[in-house]
Amino acid sequence: MTDDTTTDGEPRTDGGTGIVPQDDQAPTWTERKARTQGLARLTYEYFERSRREDEDLRHESDYVERDVLAFPTWPHEMIRNLAITSFFIGAMFFISAAIPPHIPSPANPDATPAVILPDWYLYWSFGLLHLDPINPELALLGGEKLMSDRVYGVLANLVVVGFIAIVPFLNKGSARRPVEEPFWAALGVGGIVFAFTISVLPVQNLVAETFPMTVPELFTLTFILPVVAFFLTYSVLKTMREGYMFELNRRYYRLRPPK
């Protein structure tokens, strides 16, 4: 036996490297799919199906595909973007030079300051920690609160953030503009107003000193004002909606005349 033949007498074609080229024996993708079991097989089947669906949709569609399927960002907007970026960075330099921050006195664990506040963007969260007046007392537990006020405050934070996170799963459909969805727009405006009112809650003592208002009244306003903002926005948008939708539909059907 020489180097040129394998054990069964066939000539060696792999150049002696031992790397065998794919032949009929190597499974094709279809065969691999057929042999695969369980979840992997399901994945293969789904991909094949969705690819076929895409293909079908593309055939049916009369939409002319563009080469660029989004905003082209390079290069015709680059000069404008550079200008905006430079202006924005310049504005930050200007503010930094004009209003530099000063540093408070060093940390002193023994002296509690009169006003304890986090940075402004955490006011809303800080406010949610002051919800103890509405922490329910359950008669079942003999007037005891189900959870401590601090747990309640932390939970309120989670509830607010959690609700915002699931908004896309609650509000579906293709409507985009506030006029098309007065409810959700009003909810947003109410949310913004609530973010402000709940931010005022932690400094209730200061507010009570400055304005003729008791702390319970302030607490009530914290929840009343967002509701007022909600209904105000809702009614305004509802009123606007009819005329606006008419314009919108006219524009839409002018562009895509009904068949």
C-beta of 29 vs 120, nearer to other proteins: 120
Q: With CB under 8 A as the contact rule, which of the stretches 24-32, 100-108, 210-218, 219-227 interacts with other proteins?
A: 100-108
Q: With CB under 8 A as the contact rule, which of the stretches 6-14, 172-180, 208-216, 218-226 interacts with other proteins?
A: 172-180
Task: Give the count of residues interacting with other proteins (CB under 8 A).
Answer: 68
E strand or H helix at 137? strand 137-138
Subset of 182-211 contacting other proteins (CB under 8 A): 184-185, 188, 192
What the block records as the tokens of 204 is: 């209730």
Residue type, 107: A
Q: Which of 11, 112, 134, 212 binds other proteins (CB under 8 A)?
A: 112
- Residue 136 in contact with other proteins, rule: CB under 8 A: no
Q: Which of 9, 21, 100, 143 binds other proteins (CB under 8 A)?
A: 100
Coil vs helix vs strand at 68: coil
Subset of 36-65 contacting other proteins (CB under 8 A): none
Nearest CA to 130 out of 193, 200, 189, 235 is that of 200
Residue 22 is given by DSSP the state P
C-beta of 68 vs 139, nearer to other proteins: 68
Distance CA 34, CA 243 (A): 58
Residue type, 213: M
Contact yes or no for 234/149 (Cβ under 8 A): no
What the block records as the tokens of 137 is: 């007392």
Residue 128, Cβ neighbours under 10 Å: how many? 22
Binding site for other proteins (CB under 8 A): 66-72, 75-76, 81, 84-85, 88-89, 92-93, 95-97, 99-101, 103-109, 111-113, 116-119, 121-122, 125-126, 129, 147-148, 150-151, 153-154, 161, 164-165, 167-169, 171-178, 181, 184-185, 188, 192, 251, 255
